[in-house]
Structures are given as C-alpha cells and as structure tokens.
C-alpha cells in the first residue's frame, strides 16, 4: 500500500478500477465506493471499529478490494480548522499504517483527503429527518465517506479534463 499524489492516483486508474472512500472515526469507519468510471460515489456500509476488530476490518476491506476491483483508497483526513493535524488526524494515520503493515494491500494506492466539517455538514442535511440512534450515526458515517470520495472524484475529473484535454462526451 502506497501513499500517492492525486496525479499518481489518476494515472493508476488509467486501466480502470474503483476507489473506496473511508471516513475513519474512533468507533466506526464509513465506506463509500465509486462507480467503475470513477465519476460518482455511492454510500456502501459502516464497519465497527475497536482495538479487537482491527484484523476483522482489514479482512473485510481486503474482500471489498478484491470483489469490487478497488485500485485505491481515499481516506478522509480531519485537519483542525487551523490547518494542523489534531488528535483524530493522528488516529487516521495510525489506521492507514495498520493497513500498510498488514501486507494485504501491496498494489493499492491511497491518498488523504481533507474532510474538515464533513460530518457536521452531513448532520445538518439529515437533521430534520426522523432518524435517531445507531441508524442515524451509520447514515452520517456512510454519507461522510461519500462526501470525501466525491470530492476526490471531482478533483480527478478536473485533472482529467485539464491535463489531458478530453472531456466526457456531451449528449
């Protein structure tokens, strides 16, 4: 597993493949997946996270990577409003390091994506819905992962259009 730049991630996707977005929290990991053309993100699932579930989560991610032809991870990185790494940022880097050290993702690339206030924005959007408890938290986690991934996909699209001069065919 290798940390790459956005441009390097773009190059690795030239032969196809999907991206998996991760919103890594202290208790849950929200997941979102891109379509095969890496244009649109969709919410996927939520994994429970604790000290005892690390190997289980790595195995689950390994299965998803194989089943869905995942070529890269977009890991939400929560910077403080000041732009510096906070406590949660350190936890995210530790999680990425655990994935790396597992040795199960040798060909997988990953990028960190600024996710400041993503969960707050999602919470505000679903605030008026009549959803409570664990179900609400799971929706927030999945939708936060979706926002993280879609932000990256949008940047990849701009990179594709600006760097290579080819845009999607107009209908």
Q: What is the pLDDT along the chain (171 residues), one digit of tens a residue?
A: 999 999 999 999 988 999 999 999 989 999 999 999 999 999 999 999 877 788 999 999 999 999 999 999 999 998 877 777 778 899 999 999 999 999 999 999 999 998 876 767 776 677 777 777 778 788 888 999 999 999 999 999 988 887 544 443 222
For the domain bounded by 2-164, which CATH number is listed?
Answer: 3.30.420.140
Letter string b/e over residues 32-63, b meaning 16 or more CB atoms within 10 A of that residue's CB: bbbeeebeebebbebbebeeeeeeebbeebbe
The pLDDT value given to residue 15: 87
Give, rounded to a whole angstrom, the gap between the first and last alpha carbons of the chain. Answer: 38
CB 95 within 8 A of CB 133: no
**Nearest-angstrom CA–CA distance, 15 and 17:** 7
**Nearest-angstrom CA–CA distance, 109 and 107:** 7
The pLDDT value given to residue 12: 92
Q: Can you give the residue ranges of every domain in the chain?
A: 2-164
Q: Residue 95 is inside which H or E element, if any? A: helix 87-102
**Nearest-angstrom CA–CA distance, 1 and 3:** 7
The pLDDT value given to residue 19: 98
């Amino acid at each position: 597993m290798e940390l790459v730049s956005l441009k390097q991630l773009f190059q690795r996707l030239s032969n196809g493949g999907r991206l998996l977005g991760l919103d890594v929290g202290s208790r849950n990991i929200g997941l979102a997946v891109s379509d095969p053309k890496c244009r649109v993100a969709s919410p996927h699932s939520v994994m429970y996270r604790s000290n005892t579930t690390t190997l289980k989560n790595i195995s689950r991610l390994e299965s998803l990577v194989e089943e869905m032809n995942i070529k890269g991870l977009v890991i939400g990185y929560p910077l403080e409003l000041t732009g510096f790494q906070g406590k949660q940022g350190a936890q995210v880097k530790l999680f990425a390091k655990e994935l790396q050290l597992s040795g199960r993702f040798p060909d997988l690339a990953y990028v960190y994506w600024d996710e400041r206030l993503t969960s707050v924005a999602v919470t505000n959007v679903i605030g008026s819905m009549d959803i409570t408890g664990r179900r609400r938290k799971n929706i927030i986690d999945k939708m936060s992962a979706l926002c993280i991934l879609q932000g990256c996909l949008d940047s990849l699209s701009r990179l594709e259009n600006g760097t290579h001069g080819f845009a999607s065919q107009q209908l």
